[in-house]
Amino acid sequence: MIKSTLLRNTGVTGIVLYLLVLAEIHLYFVYTPTPEGTPPPNTVLIRILLDLFICAGLIGFFSQFKYIVAQLHPDHIRIGDFLFSCGLAFAIVSLIADAIQSGSIWIANNKPVNPTWVGYGAEGALLIYGPINRLLNTIILFTGSTLIIKTNLFPKWTAVLGYIFAVYNLAFVPTIFFMTTPLDFYSVNGWNIPIAAGLFFLWILIISVFLIGKKTAGPHALI
């Protein structure tokens, strides 16, 4: 058996992550622009601050999820280990992108800056927020869905949904060859990114709801 507190804490972590992501995405579209049309520096820094907590939460979520897999399905612990490693990598590279964006704000001083535009400080972070994160999201979603199929941790439809979301993310890895125009859908920093992030964290939210709804569990008991 596995303690209900672990299931509940993991589920709560996933739900909080989703809410933080919604708040962060909101700040990319709703703000009072500067006369130059760029977001206020404090708005950018608030987005980065939220992302710091999201990255920390991801590390906690995937480490707890790995332990759940180890307790319920030790024969599939290698998949759990790989899933945790990919989640950790996603959090780490996102933190690097946050550091680059923060630096662009500080070095700009009083000049207009938008860390999502080339020429305004985004150059170093675009590859991370775009193709790198899309690739890592693809691997996490595919691995997590495969784990669900093999272990019956959650209903099969959650795995199917994860595969669909994985295909969506994979489709945007080749944006590395396309322009850096935020207003374009298929570009390295286009508006495909908040959709992809939303779908990824929606999948985490769904499995988190299943986790938080269980008091105790033995093997194959989370359905």
**Which is more confident, 52 or 176?**
52
Specify the residue for token string 């070095």: 107
Would you tell me the crossing angle of helices 4-29 and 41-72 to the nearest 10 degrees?
160
144-195 pLDDT tens trace: 999 999 999 999 999 999 999 999 999 999 998 987 777 788 988 888 899 9
123, 103 Cβ separation under 8 angstroms:
no
Asked whether 196 and 21 are in contact (CB, 8 A), the reply is no
The alpha carbon dihedral of 189, 190, 192, 195 has a sign of positive
Q: Which two tokens stand for residue 16?
A: 């909080």
Mapping DSSP to helix (H, G, I), strand (E, B) and coil, where does residue 217 land? strand
Q: Output the pTM of the full model.
A: 0.90
Model confidence pLDDT, tens digit, residues 97-132? 999 888 888 887 777 777 777 766 667 788 899 999
Rg (CA), the chain: 18
